[in-house]
Amino acid sequence: MTDWHEINQRLELRDKKLEKAILRDVGAQRALRKLVRGGVDGSTVMRLLVFSARDQGFWRKPARRLKKQLESLANQLETVASHAERVHQEYLSHAAVMTLILHVSSGQFGKPNPEWDDIWKRANSAKGASAKVLFWFVRQYAKNCREKATHLGEMLREFPPRQRRQMLDTLMLAVWHGARKHYDREIAYLLTKAFEAAGKKKQFSEDQVKKHRQRHVLPRIRQYLERSASTLTAAVDSTRTTS
């Protein structure tokens, strides 16, 4: 059995190959050097580029398959429970009724017979409560399967957009944190080359990166600066109080 150490080594080797493929492009080397001169850590940028170009949606196909299976199972369980309940409620399905019919057809109805009396008592005591409890459990399990399928559907609808943005947001934040400046053109070029190296045709423009930054990254930068300012203010007030 393959251990996690071997798997991690294989993934690291794949990432290194992708990094080398990106840096074969002269323009990518030039863009990376510009970021490094601005104060950004080059290895962090390369690692985030590789993560961005990876297939982040590998889990969606099995999740969709599981969702369909759960929905199908819930439908089948509800169909079986309904059919079984209809059969159970049929008057010929009751043990007491069948015993009475057999007793009458035997020609011994009304005659003292300890054997038939014992059969009648046991059949008459066989109530339908246990069957009703079984149907309830089957329907509860079907309901549970349907709820799981609904939850998976919500994940499939809501999570992928955030997942696709995650690495791009992190890359832009890392560049800003290192340089305190935005390099939209260089990031767009590096992303395009990273996806090309990964065998994907996806073009990034400076305008696209800028719009993404303004919509998703700048609010997080503002939150960071506000928290830093409030922390600094609290520290200064505490120092003044103690002095």
Report domain extents, the chain.
4-242
Q: What is the pLDDT of residues 146-193, one digit of tens each?
A: 999 999 898 888 776 666 678 888 899 899 889 988 899 999 999 999
Give the separation between CA 155 and CA 1, rounded to whole angstroms.
Answer: 31
So what's the pLDDT on residue 72?
94
For the record, the structure tokens of 188 come out as: 């767009």
> What was the pLDDT predicted at 1?
43
Gyration radius of the chain over CA positions: 34
| Cα-based angle 167, 173, 179 (whole degrees, multiple of 5) | 135
pLDDT value, residue 60: 78
Q: Divide the 243 residues of the chain into consecutive groups of 10 and give the mean pLDDT of each group.
A: 70 87 94 94 92 75 90 91 72 52 49 55 52 78 92 82 76 90 93 91 91 87 80 69 63
Burial of 49 (0-12, 13-18, 19+ CB in 10 A): buried
The pLDDT assigned to 34 comes to 94
Q: In whole angstroms, give the CA distance from residue 197 to residue 17.
A: 9
Tell me the C-alpha distance between 28 and 129, whole Å.
73
Q: What does the pLDDT read at residue 92? A: 53
Q: For 174, how many CA atoms within 13 A lie in the half-sphere containing its CB?
A: 19
Pick from 40, 24, 23, 74: which is nearest to 179 by CA?
A: 40
At 242, which amino acid appears? T
Q: Determine the pLDDT at residue 194.
A: 93
pLDDT at 105: 47
The pTM of the full predicted model, rounded to 2 decimals, is: 0.56
